[in-house]
């Protein structure tokens, strides 16, 4: 499978622009059968050395806007939390399947659900740094399922640079395609950005119920942890890729 092809800039004009900042990547190995039960059959599960993962990514969105408009204070900046796994289609198009995306801005939730066919939810969210520790909190408000909470406290560690192709870090972080179910169609969207500048991170505390809310087993054990200060992102429009059965 060519994992580098989606990293190339697509032709044409992006649909919009975003800045992703202060990303905490937490991943747990998850049974294949549990994921297969909740991922559309049109998609194949993507694995690393035979292991499948569920990821929880907590971050902040900045300057979210369509190509024809500047960012708008009070609308374009908000925290986000997503629960995801990794998929492909017949050995190509390695990408992301989102089980949920929680956002602190209600308008962003409504737009994303209607225009991008993604399972966005409105949540009460906070992110702050105190004494060298980052504190992130999210509690879903609507729509359900609830409860769906997440809280983490962590320290950013030494820089790692960009992940090398073929490593677990590259498999987990460098994802440029997303898939979304729209009625009887499966659609795909692409993003473009430079490779993540990654750091080690130490998670001091984490508690969550967002994975179980997605219909998956609650994570067991310590997660694999990465951090990135962020990237600037071009977002491209969805396109149909397959009918749904």
pTM here is 0.96
* Distance from C-alpha of 151 to C-alpha of 217, rounded to nearest angstrom: 18
In whole angstroms, what is the distance from residue 94 CA to residue 27 CA? 17
pLDDT at 186 (0 to 100): 95
- What percent of the chain stands above pLDDT 70? 98
pLDDT tens by residue, 186-240: 999 999 999 999 999 999 999 999 999 999 999 999 999 999 999 999 999 999 9
pLDDT band at 75 (very low <50, low <70, confident <90, very high): confident
Residue 172 scores a pLDDT above 80: yes
Give every CB contact of residue 226 below 8 A, 6+ residues apart in sequence: 24, 25, 160, 169, 172, 173, 198, 199, 200, 201
Is the C-alpha dihedral spanning 40, 210, 124, 228 positive or negative?
A: negative
Task: Give mean pLDDT, residues 59-85.
Answer: 88
Q: Answer whether 55's CB lies under 8 Å from 25's CB.
A: yes
Q: Say if residue 61's pLDDT is above 90.
A: yes
Domains and CATH numbers, the chain: 5-243 (2.40.400.10)
When pLDDT is averaged across residues 61-88 and rounded to a whole number, the result is 89
Among residues 18, 47, 11, 9, which one has the least CA distance to residue 30?
A: 47
């Amino acid at each position: 499978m060519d994992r580098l092809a989606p990293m190339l800039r697509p032709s044409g004009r992006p649909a919009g622009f975003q800045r992703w900042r202060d990303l905490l990547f937490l991943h747990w190995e998850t049974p294949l059968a549990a994921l297969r039960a909740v991922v559309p059959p049109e998609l194949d599960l993507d694995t690393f050395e035979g292991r499948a993962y569920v990821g929880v990514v907590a971050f902040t969105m900045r300057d979210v806007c369509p190509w024809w408009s500047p960012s708008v204070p009070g609308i374009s900046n908000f925290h986000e939390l997503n629960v995801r796994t990794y998929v492909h289609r017949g050995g190509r198009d390695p990408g992301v399947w989102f089980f949920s995306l929680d956002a602190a801005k209600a308008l962003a939730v409504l737009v994303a659900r209607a225009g991008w066919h993604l399972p966005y939810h409105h949540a009460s969210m906070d992110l702050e740094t105190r004494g060298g520790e980052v504190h992130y909190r999210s509690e879903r408000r609507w729509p359900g399922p609830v409860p769906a909470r997440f809280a983490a406290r962590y320290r950013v560690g030494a820089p790692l640079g960009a992940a090398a192709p073929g490593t677990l870090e590259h498999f987990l972080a460098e994802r440029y395609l997303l898939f979304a179910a729209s009625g009887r169609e499966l659609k795909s969207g692409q993003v473009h950005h430079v490779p993540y500048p990654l750091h080690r991170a130490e998670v001091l505390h984490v508690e969550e119920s967002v994975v179980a809310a997605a219909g998956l087993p609650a994570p067991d054990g310590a997660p694999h942890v990465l951090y990135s200060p962020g990237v600037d992102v071009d977002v491209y429009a969805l396109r149909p890729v397959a009918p749904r059965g």
